[in-house]
Amino acid sequence: MELRTLRYFVAVAEELHFGRAARRLHMSQPPLSRAIKLLEAGLGTALLRRSPAGVELTDAGRTLLHEARALLDHADRIRAKVARTTLTVGVLGDHGAARIAREFRRRHPGVEIVVREADLTDPTCGLRSHQVDVALTRGPFDRTGLRTRVLRADPVGAVLRADDPLAARERITTADLDDRDWFQFPEGTDEAWQGYWNGGRPRRGPVVRGVQECVQTVLWNGSVGLAPLGHDLGSGLRVVPLDDMAPSPVVVAWREDDPLTRAFVEAATQIVCTDTA
């Protein structure tokens, strides 16, 4: 039973007329009739009742029509994935994106990459809303329905103004910051993500969406937030290591395991693991 024969059958079953189905398929009627007869012979049952006025489906024909539509739709989706030449990548932070992009282009020079830079309100970078195919981001966040691979884990610290009394310390804990305002994300932001960047407990403070808003809030208001160690946030700020915070994982996340997405995941894994080796 070939996909082409199933397409022939679906056309006849939907048109209920061999002539109209042949025109729809851009072929002549005799080979179409022969293909359907061979299909019926192969299945050992009649699919159509023929008459001068046209055809009607038998019970077996109605069953096959339902199943054939689903099968053909699935086949079309597979073909589209395999033939796809554009990949949309969501990015939150850098995480070695330049080297990943260079390696991916080397392996797949004919693929166009569309980049969507996410803000701090969506750690999946648009995966759940189907805006991207794959995301290079960091956790933690709700991974329900997503495939993920942890590339590395970064220790985090408190972002403080350089003249803050705590900024002179080598290390602090979240308890040292309990009396401070903390960054907040807009309502509806992933709870696991919000909870982590609030040090594991409810906090109060200004609502921000992007990294620069966080930086300016610290500089102007003395608010506090968290950031991975080693990031240059500009003059006037210091990131002090936190002893009681678990590292934040750098993650590549995706929904569907098609060849192009899998190729990106493998390139990201190789580059990041090489960088951290």
pLDDT higher at 179 or 86: 179
| Count of CB atoms situated within 10 Å of the CB of 145 | 9
Average pLDDT for 240-254: 94
Strands lying side by side in the sheet with 147-154: 112-117, 86-91, 134-138, 248-254, 147-154
pLDDT at 1 over 80: no
- Each residue's pLDDT tens digit, 125-158: 999 989 999 999 999 999 999 999 999 899 999 9
pLDDT at 33 over 90: yes
pTM, 2 dp: 0.67
Distance CA 152, CA 271 (A): 11
Distance CA 39, CA 54 (A): 18
Radius of gyration of the chain (CA): 28
pLDDT at 53 over 50: yes
Q: Where does the pLDDT of residue 277 fall: very low under 50, low under 70, confident under 90, or very high at 90 and above?
A: very low
| Alpha helices by DSSP H, the chain | 3-15, 18-25, 29-43, 59-83, 97-107, 191-197, 211-221, 259-276
Q: Where does the pLDDT of residue 241 fall: very low under 50, low under 70, confident under 90, or very high at 90 and above?
A: very high
Distance CA 77, CA 100 (A): 27
Average pLDDT for 6-19: 92
| Count of CB atoms situated within 10 Å of the CB of 125 | 24
pLDDT higher at 108 or 17: 17
Confidence at residue 80, expressed as pLDDT on a 0 to 100 scale: 66
Residue type, 212: Q
Q: Where does the pLDDT of residue 257 fall: very low under 50, low under 70, confident under 90, or very high at 90 and above?
A: confident
Distance CA 95, CA 98 (A): 9
Average pLDDT for 65-85: 81
